Amino acid sequence: MIGERASNEMKTPAGRKAGGRAAAPLRTSVKIRLADGSETDCRAGVHLAREAHLHTVFRNIPFSEDKAKAIFDKAIDQPERFGLIYAVPGAEGPLAEDGLLGFASVHADEHFLGTGTLIATVQTLNISQNLSGTLLGGKVALRLVRAVRHWAKERGCTHLLVHVTNGENAADADSFFRRCGMVTVGGNYAATLNCLEI
């Protein structure tokens, strides 16, 4: 899983997607690994985090590069509690700033009222917008979910929670996570608050 090189190559249709974006390459090998602590890994993670932020319900809140870097640093400094799992092209060499295919950020902690048991919580699971709606994008997402499960099991977590706040295709996300064997245990609810309304 994590750190294991993909042995099979994943295919997507060639050509252009709706909206004018080029489709993913016809053949792309994918490697799933933990962020390695390098400056190139950090830059690539921040780049994809910024892109993903623009597609959440919180896109009107200014993106903080410092906070994105802090998440990266926690994953490097405290790997037993914080995981930053990358999906990268299988080719060797430094990761380009826009080279991430996807990533997941997960942390392990006790339930806020319980003790003695760890729960893994996925804060974000993002796929590059270049892969959105493609077969390769779906396969990258599935590989990231498998890697998150593996990461959580290695740390003795008893549950895995995923929060979805993209706001653009919540129904698709719900369908995807159900196909991954997950069930809903509640939901994310949001309201925009304006202090003048009080």
The DSSP string of the chain is -TTPBPSS-EE---SB-TTSPBPPPSEE-EEEEE--S-HHHHHHHHHHHHHHHTTSTTTTSPP-HHHHHHHHHHHHH-TTTEEEEEEEESS-SPPPTT--SEEEEEEEEE-SS--S-EEEEEEEEEE-GGGTTSHHHHHHHHHHHHHHHHHHHHTTEEEEEE-----SSHHHHHHHHHHTT---SS--------GGG-
CATH of 10-16+24-182, one of 3.40.50.300, 3.40.630.30, 3.40.50.720, 3.40.50.2000: 3.40.630.30
Q: Is the pTM of this model over 0.85?
A: no
pLDDT in tens, 9-41: 333 333 334 444 444 444 578 999 999 999 999
Indicate the pLDDT class of residue 91, thresholds 50, 70 and 90: confident
Indicate the pLDDT class of residue 5, thresholds 50, 70 and 90: very low
Domain layout of the chain by residue ranges: 10-16+24-182
